Amino acid sequence: MTMTQTIAPNAPITRPSAPPGGARAALEVARRALRKYFRTPGLSVMGVVQSALFLFSFRYVFGGAIQAGPSGYVNYLVPGYVATIVLFTGGGVAVAVAEDRAQGFTARLLSLPVPRYAIVAGRALADSATNAWSILVTVGFGFLFGFRLGGTVPDGLAALGLCLVYAVVFTVVFIVIGLFAPSVQAAQGLSLIAFVFAFISSTYVPAASMPGWLQPFSRYQPITPMVNAVRALILGSGSDVALALAWSALLLVVCTPVAVLRYRSA
Amino acid sequence: MRLTEQVTRSAQAAPLLEASGLTVRFGKVTALDGLNMTAPPGEVLAILGPNGAGKTTFVRTVATLLRPTSGTLRVRGRDVAADPVAVRRDIGLAGQFAAVEPTMTGRENLEMTAQLFGHDGRAARRAASIVIEQLSLEDVAGRRSGTYSGGQRRRLDLGASLVGAPRLLLLDEPTTGLDPAGRREVWDAVRALVAGGTDVVLTTHYLDEANELADHVIVIDRGRVIASGPLDDLKASVGHDVIEVAVPDASLLDAAGLILQRVTSSPPRIDRGSRRASARSAGGASELRAAIGLLEGAAIPIDEIGLRRPTLDEAFLALTADQGQDRSPQ
């Protein structure tokens, strides 16, 4: 065996004195996810374009045929659409999580002395940020397509704040989907489940307009109260807000530990 | 304080790896089946085995990505199940999948990993710069790693496992899928690290890779160690030297092979590409003499003939074949 004696590095790396703290590790994990998002046009640009096109279609293509709300369909549609936009963009989160597992990036992270919860926290932080970004862009398009606040500006901001809470909640849900999907394609497929919840709810049409057998699902699944709460806040009412927050808390409380435990064995 | 020193000293004296009855199951599949092994520090260990033998499972268990179903595994004296964080601080993992972020530059990738090892920003930048120099990545460090060649990406992956100054570098099939130039690049990088004092454990199914890099070899098959020891011992343990003859014309190979078989009573191996026939020989020099006599008698011209130690390739085939025979009655 020939052993080429290459010069040993004359400036050795000192060993870190301690593993990174959870917050620093989470920020580093988040920074990488954000860089990937903003440096991949397919993710950052197409996500926005897609959400604008969808809103455009509902507003101008289907909207004329839908009777909803006393102040016109656009004022009914936009709050629901903004509240649930993450159900559409969140598929990207599940795919990104599944990709990291398939390509060995998760293994690299798990081999580092990083607290497991920091990996989930970093991922959730970054994806909540990009999802919040989608929400803000979509609100912009909403106003462009004719949406007007029915109440005061603070009421509108409260509604927006609630939508941002949902962004965090759905992000964690999609992280769990990405962690359980056996492949990247499966992550994409599984994410379509979210469409069922988005469409069979009060997001696009009032639940009362659906056939009787469909109404119980529409009424009691979490998306309907979540959307209704956003509409109520815009008009200065607090109805359904407590129920929406309870659903949000429940989803977070269930999904977060599942995500942390699942990352541990990814 | 004195206690800490003692603990440190005992960790230094502990074997690099020590597995006892190590078993890892995935459902009904047993990937590691009561594996026992010890690897001394200060040597490059190669884990050899056919695909599906359990090599990758073993590395992932060392890296604390998998938990043992039963049995124990200690890395530098620390139990992977009881103290995974300590193990993670000691190891750097580079895999058969080059796990770097393609949308980030080489330098950004290294700085990120350094921070995740626990460096602060300044120390992370310094560690990244050192590794870039060490692995000769200066020219590409500012480019996104998605634009790298296979060899460059693999070296960056290797670099990412080094920025935390690990005491043990785990390389899971470090050159799988690389072209010969890429393999050379990675081998040179690993040799430089070894010269700098890093302990290395690598898995490979390339025998020449083990030959190039390793001092100590363990061979795994079906989740168990079937041979272990210094590389030279392993070659010697499969016995016998080999008589090998090279002939000028491939059409003479079969006749030459038959003569070798008659002399040595072991089945010949024919390599048509290099026009060589070979056979294991228990009789050594006297059998060599007999073979030469018979070849001349049959008027087969000889380009080259000799007695040599078995190659790792031959050792490996002999070992896994024996193992297969042991189990065939089941």
**With an 8 Å Cβ cutoff, is B134 touching chain A?**
yes
B246 at interface of A, judged by CB pairs closer than 8 A: no
Looking at the complex, report in whole angstroms how far the Cα of residue A17 sits from the nearest Cα belonging to chain B.
7
Residues A93, A175 contacting (CB under 8 angstroms): yes
Interface check for B99 against chain A (CB to CB < 8 A): the answer is yes
- Cβ–Cβ under 8 Å, residues B15 and B41: yes
The pairs formed by B247-251 with CB atoms below 8 angstroms and a separation of 24 or more are B247/B275, B247/B276, B247/B277, B247/B300, B247/B301, B247/B302, B247/B303, B248/B275, B248/B301, B248/B303, B249/B275, B249/B301, B250/B275
Q: What is the mean pLDDT of residues A64-93?
A: 89
Q: Do A28 and B115 touch (CB under 8 A)?
A: yes
Average the pLDDT over B285-297 and give the result.
Answer: 88
Most confident listed range (B62-66, B142-146, B171-175, B223-227): B142-146
User: Quick check: is A190 in a domain?
Assistant: yes
DSSP A101: H
Q: Would residue A183 count as lying in a domain? A: yes
Asked if B224 has any chain A CB less than 8 Å from its own CB, the reply is no
A positions 95-114 inside 8 Å of B (CB): 103-105, 107-114
> What's the pLDDT at B323?
57
User: Which residue of B lies nearest to A8 if distances are taken between CA atoms?
Assistant: B196
**3 state DSSP class of A205:** coil
Highest mean pLDDT among B10-14, B124-128, B311-315: B124-128
| Under 8 Å between Cβ of A229 and A222 | no
B65: nearest CB among A36, A39, A107: A107
| pLDDT at res. B4 | 46
Q: Contacts of residue B45 in chain A, CB cutoff 8 Å?
A: none
- Which residue type does B15 have? P
Residue B66 to residue B49: CA distance in whole angstroms: 20
Instruction: Please determine, for residue B197, whether its predicted confidence score (pLDDT) is greater than 60.
Output: yes
| pLDDT mean over B200-221 | 88
**Residue B195, amino acid:** A
pLDDT (mean) for A66-92 = 89
- Domains of chain B, CATH where assigned: 15-233 (3.40.50.300), 240-309 (3.30.70)
Suggest the residue from B116, B169, B185 to mutate for an interface test with chain A (most A CBs closer than 10 A).
B116
Query: What tokens were used for B284?
Result: 């050594």
Cβ under 8 Å to A: B residues 259-288: none
- Average pLDDT of span A109-119: 92
Q: How many domains are contained in chain A?
A: 1
Pick from A35, A104, A265: CB nearest B104: A35
User: Within an 8 Å CB–CB cutoff, is residue B130 touching chain A?
Assistant: yes
The span from the CA of A5 to the CA of A131, in Å, is 52
| The pTM of the whole model exceeds 0.90 | no
Contact by Cβ (8 Å): B307, B243: yes
Residues of A with CB below 8 A from B96's CB?
A: 104
Taking CB atoms and an 8 Å limit, are A1 and B211 in contact across chains? yes
pLDDT higher than 50, residue A9: no
Residue A113 domain boundaries:
22-31+50-60+70-203+214-264
A151-155, A192-196, B93-97, B157-161: the lowest-pLDDT one: B93-97
Q: Whose CA is closest to A138, among A198, A79, A87?
A: A79
* Residue range B234-282, pLDDT digits in tens: 777 666 788 888 888 888 888 888 898 888 888 888 888 888 998 888 7
- Do residues A73 and A59 touch, judged by C-beta distance below 8 A? yes
Full 3-state SS string of chain B: CHHHHHHHHHHHHCCCEEEEEEEEEECCEEEEEEEEEEECCCCEEEEECCCCCCHHHHHHHHCCCCCCCEEEEEECCEECCCCHHHHHHHEEEECCCCCCCCCCEHHHHHHHHHHHHCCCHHHHHHHHHHHHHHCCCCCCCCCEHHHCCHHHHHHHHHHHCCCCCCCEEEEECCCCCCCHHHHHHHHHHHHHHHHCCCEEEEEECCHHHHHHHCCEEEEEECCEEEEEEEHHHHHHHCCCEEEEEECCCHHHHHHHHHHHHHHHCCCCEEECCCCEEEEEECCCHHHHHHHHHHHHHCCCCCCEEEEECCCHHHHHHHHHHHHHHHHCCC
| Alpha helix (H) residue ranges in chain A | 22-39, 41-56, 73-102, 105-111, 116-144, 153-180, 184-191, 193-199, 215-220, 223-234, 241-264
Q: Is residue A245 part of a domain?
A: yes
What values do phi and psi take at B73, rounded to 5? -140, 125
Q: Which residues of A touch B163 (CB under 8 A)?
A: 13
Helical packing angle, A41-56 and A73-102, nearest 10°:
160
A108 contacts B95 by C-beta, under 8 angstroms = yes
* Per-position b or e across A137-150, b if 16+ CB within 10 A of its CB: bbbebbeebebeeb
Residue in chain A lying closest to B144 (CA)? A39
Predicted local confidence at residue A7, as pLDDT = 39
Whether A36 sits inside 8 A of B108 (CB atoms) is no
Half-sphere exposure in the Cβ direction for A257 (13 Å, CA): 4
Q: A208 lies in a domain?
A: no
pLDDT-derived band at B98, boundaries 50, 70, 90: low
With H, G, I as helix, E, B as strand and everything else as coil, classify residue A237: coil
Average pLDDT over chain B, rounded to whole? 85
- The yes-or-no verdict on residue A95 having pLDDT over 80 is yes
Which run of H or E residues covers position A18?
none
- Cross-chain Cβ contact A19/B188 below 8 Å: no
- Gap between the Cα atoms of B162 and B174, Å rounded: 14
Alpha-carbon distance B283 to nearest alpha carbon in chain A (angstroms): 27
In a domain, A82, yes or no: yes
State how far residue B254 is from chain A, nearest Cα, in angstroms: 32
In whole angstroms, what is the distance from residue A112 CA to residue A110 CA? 5
Query: How near does any CA of chain B get to the CA of A185, in Å?
Result: 19
In degrees, to the nearest 5, what angle opens at C-alpha B239 toward C-alphas B236 and B240?
Answer: 105
Cα of B164 to nearest chain A Cα, Å: 6
Give domain status of residue A259, yes or no. Answer: yes
In a domain, A11, yes or no: no
| Interchain contact, B118 vs A31, CB within 8 Å | no
Give yes or no for B98 touching A (CB within 8 A). yes
